[in-house]
A = this chain, B = another copy of it.
Amino acid sequence: MTDRAVVLLSGGLDSATCLAMARAAGYDCHALAFAYGQRHAAELQAAERVAASLGAASFRVLSLGLGDIGGSALTDTAIDVPDDGGEGIPVTYVPARNTVFLSLALGFAEVLDASAIYIGVNAVDYSGYPDCRPAFIEAFQALADLATRAGVEGHGPVIKAPLLTLSKSAIVAAGTELGVDYAQTVSCYQADADGRACGRCDSCRLRQRGFADAGLADPTRYQG
Contact = CB atoms under 8 A, between A and B. Distances in A.
Interface of A: 60-66, 68-71, 89, 93-100, 102-104, 106-108, 110-111, 130-131, 133, 135-136, 139-140, 142-143, 145-149, 151-152
A110 to B, nearest CB: 4
A70 B147 contact: no
- Copy count, this protein chain: 2
Contact of A147 (B64, B96, B145): B96
Given A93-B149, A107-B97, A149-B89, A69 B63 contact: no
Contact of A148 (B61, B95, B106, B152): B95
A69 B108 contact: yes
A155 to B, nearest CB: 12
Nearest to A139: B143
A222 to B, nearest CB: 32
25 contacts: A60-B68, A62-B66, A62-B69, A63-B65, A64-B64, A64-B65, A66-B107, A71-B110, A94-B107, A95-B107, A95-B108, A95-B110, A96-B103, A96-B110, A98-B147, A99-B106, A99-B143, A100-B107, A103-B103, A130-B147, A130-B149, A133-B146, A140-B143, A142-B142, A142-B143
A86 to B, nearest CB: 15
A181 B189 CA distance: 47
A160 B99 CA distance: 18
A129 B9 CA distance: 29
A133 B145 CA distance: 13
A71 to B, nearest CB: 4
Contacts of A89: 149, 152
B104 A131 contact: no
Given A62-B65, A64-B64, 15 more contacts: A60-B69, A62-B68, A64-B65, A71-B110, A89-B152, A93-B149, A96-B104, A96-B110, A96-B147, A98-B147, A99-B103, A99-B106, A130-B152, A131-B146, A139-B146
